[in-house]
Chains A and B, each alone.
Chain A
Amino acid sequence: MALLIIDTEACTGCGACVDVCPFGALEIIEGVAVVNENCTACGACISVCPVEALSLPEAEEKPVTEDLESYQGVWVWVEQFQGKAASISWEMMGQGRRLADELGTTLTACVLGEKMDRVAHEAIAYGADRVFVADDPTLRVYRTEPYARILVELVRQYKPEIFLLGASSRGRDLAGAVATLLYTGLTADCTGLEIDPETRLLLQTRPAYGGNIMATILTPNHRPQMATVRHRVFEVPEPDFERQGQIVSVPVVLSEDEIASKVVDFIVEEGEVNIADAKIIVAGGRGVGGPEGFEPLRELAQVLGGAVGASRAAVDAGWIPYAHQVGQTGRTVRPDLYIACGISGAIQHRAGMSTSRVIVAINKDPDAPIFDIATYGVVGDLFQIVPALTEQFRKKLKR
């Protein structure tokens, strides 16, 4: 089943490909590389082969976007909820600006909603040269169909080379629809964006397998090059409200009658957690011992104005709802401060929080892997340390 083509004449059996293969799909047998069915055609080995013995089949008639060169400019979709722009979008604007400058091109923001004047002006302050504004009651609340259709029409008309969206629920929902309709490449949940100086292509880097490996992905023959970008990986740039930019009003594509989906309600539960946006997270794992063990963590989180997170072990044991779960099967978070209490730090958990700015680990076991990624570590009983910490912050922060 493996697609990889190995030129056995050229292969010297050096084993460079074996070392880089993330899937253990290559081995050297009798002096030449041999591929097995673990191969995913990821291409990681091709660039390391010193004798160019490896390749993937090139289709003769590979479908491509026509007229690639005519695609110019960097675009960012500005997500709004209840008329307010999401901070993730300003993070995208910061990156969009950087990429546009590197390419010597312009940055365009796409603002969709109702009464979007203020957001449109903010977009300029955050770096846009041009803002497309679709302002209509049908766009007040985000819905996939009307949003996707407008963006698709705009792309077809104005042909951007790069289109960035935040990897929020809405961003992922929208990007998936737009990329499919446009038949272009979309790289989800990127943590790195660079321009290849030679080809001017966007190098999109994203974690896979819960952050254990990183992949750099290109969209060489399709435009725009689309990416969603993970929240809180990039800084929100300083807005400059003196900046000048062009605001272009664009029409809606679908009328209300033509939209199948209606948003009928929005439920925000009492005590609903949004750990993805929290700046401070106090998280508990197996070491908290039971549902009541989260109480001291809640108190600390309250004093710090943070949220309570949990490891999968604590959630699976039923001590705390899933909404609190951090990690590969839960939420990925990147707070300024992550306090891990009684969390051993399994790789799946670390995948969801290891990019936090400051990590504090409190654990009884001095060998717990969580200490490997912590900024500060405390070996001790969380039921003593956490309340003491709460008390100290109460005093020092006067809360």
Chain B
Amino acid sequence: MDFSFTEEHEMVRKMVREFAEREIAPTIKEHDRNQTFDETLLPKMAEQGLLGICIPVKYGGAGMDYISLGIACEELERVDTSARVILSVHVALNSLALLQWGTEEQKQKYLVPQALGERIATFGLTEPNAGSDVASIQTTARRDGDSYILNGEKMWISLADVADNFLIFAYTDKSKRHRGMSAFIVEREFPGVETGTIHGKMGVRAGNTGYISLQDVRVPAENLLGQEGEGFKIAMSALDNGRYTVAWGAVGLIRACLEASVRYANERYTFGVPIGQHQLVQQMIAKMAQRLDAGQLLCLKAGWMKNQGLRNTRETSMAKWYCCDAAFESASDAVQIHGAYGYSDEYDVERYLRNSKGAVIYEGSREIHTILQAQYALGYRQDKPLRCELPAYDQEEWEAEE
């Protein structure tokens, strides 16, 4: 049993923290206010190796472990959620799915440029009428010779207007319900792909979120990820990775709330004392500290299981559920501690509060996770082994050049 981060993890944390503070923090308020996505950020993240952080070196990645991915998410979201979202969709939901399910050809063709950050990737599952109820997606893929023809619309897709590669889920056989769903690697350049941006979000306003429209898009059969009918399993396994990054990010948001609140509680005086001396303020701060520690431990456990190659659907769901609720509550308390200043955009905490709400909804809403955990506890649900599991982290293999 060992609860300490390795020297390497500490270095990753420090590097990403510096990166986020230098490259994101100075302009984030402006981008958030104007609802603009910082176009310069992706090349910088690519250069730093963040876009392939836990992908093996031989696939263009940085060769770090899954806990490093988590730490990077924590540190990015400590500054702003929009930056962490990039890792969630590009690395966790898309690239790790390729690493887990892809053929060697698919990895060479798609994973390598993604890990190098030459191509940006995202994940297209949600539709206007299908969120938690995944089975009700309407996008279809019809086999036509050596290709599939895709039709449908994806909604609430992070980086929709920025990404080059999309992992699209569609029914190859709707009559088979879950077992009739398949996953496809779609390039922006394929004729019939169109994307757009959604404005007016409550939070993550510096992030790019949009829709993908697919009209008679011809996708070569070799771009089918996994087998026909495996789409649902691929989607759920990808969510195990996506949720893991969302959970870690939420820990970063709690950390930001705690830091801001402690700073303010020491600076601000009321009734002749720093407000940190008022017990009700102390209670809010104590709870933030508690959530930070508890959340991080849940994330670490999930990360350790990923590194070991153990199935972690239950643990990841637990971490995501807990951390996102805890982040929302912490942000709400942080605004409360800041009083009227916290309610204005002069301080960052109002942004934390707006940003924290989204994650209580996406990647498995609070309700979905509650039900999942009840099902595990009651014995109604068990995870069966997958045909392809996320590979355990093997340092030598990850660092090997060939």
Contact = CB atoms under 8 A, between A and B. Distances in A.
A367 interface: yes
Interface in A289-342: 316-318
B36 to A, nearest CB: 17
Interface in B34-77: none
A369 B26 CA distance: 23
A318 B26 CA distance: 9
B33 interface: no
A317 B30 CA distance: 13
B269 interface: yes
A316 to B, nearest CB: 8
B10 interface: no
B268 interface: yes
Interface string A347-376: 000000000000000000001110000000
Contacts of B268: 367
B269 A367 contact: yes
A247 B135 CA distance: 99
Contacts of B26: 316-318
Interface string B333-366: 0000000000000000000000000000000000
Contacts of A316: 26
Contacts of B267: 367-369
Interface string B211-245: 00000000000000000000000000000000000
Nearest to B269: A367
Interface string A177-188: 000000000000
A39 B267 CA distance: 30
B40 to A, nearest CB: 14
A368 B267 CA distance: 7
Secondary structure call for the A interface: loop
Nearest to B22: A316
A368 B26 CA distance: 22
Interface string B256-273: 000000000001110000
Contacts of B269: 367
Nearest to A344: B267
Contacts of A369: 267
Interface residues of B, number: 4
Nearest to A368: B267
Interface size class of A (residues with CB under 8 A): under 10
A285 to B, nearest CB: 14
A27 to B, nearest CB: 24
Interface string B278-306: 00000000000000000000000000000
Nearest to A369: B267
Nearest to A364: B346
Contacts of A318: 26
A256 B140 CA distance: 86
B338 to A, nearest CB: 12
A369 B269 CA distance: 11
Interface in A135-154: none
A318 B25 CA distance: 13
B69 to A, nearest CB: 28
Interface string B4-32: 00000000000000000000001000000
A316 B267 CA distance: 22
Interface in A17-43: none
A148 B267 CA distance: 48
B22 to A, nearest CB: 8
A316 B26 CA distance: 9
B38 to A, nearest CB: 15
A317 B25 CA distance: 9
A318 B27 CA distance: 11
Residue among A317, A367, A369 with the highest chain B CB neighbour number at 10 A? A367
A247 to B, nearest CB: 56
B136 to A, nearest CB: 48
Contacts of A367: 267-269
A369 B274 CA distance: 12
A352 B266 CA distance: 22
Nearest to B346: A364
A9 B269 CA distance: 47
Contacts of A368: 267
Nearest to B275: A367
B287 to A, nearest CB: 24
A244 to B, nearest CB: 58
Nearest to A316: B26
A318 B22 CA distance: 11
A316 B25 CA distance: 11
Interface string A109-130: 0000000000000000000000
Nearest to A319: B26
A188 B144 CA distance: 81
A316 B23 CA distance: 11
A367 B269 CA distance: 7
B19 to A, nearest CB: 15
Nearest to B264: A367
A369 B268 CA distance: 10
Residue among B267, B268, B269 with the highest chain A CB neighbour number at 10 A? B267
A318 B269 CA distance: 31
B270 to A, nearest CB: 9
A369 B267 CA distance: 8
8 contacts: A316-B26, A317-B26, A318-B26, A367-B267, A367-B268, A367-B269, A368-B267, A369-B267
The 6 closest A-B pairs by CB, nearest first: A367-B269, A317-B26, A367-B268, A367-B267, A369-B267, A318-B26
Given A318-B26, A367-B269, A368-B267, 4 more contacts: A316-B26, A317-B26, A367-B267, A367-B268
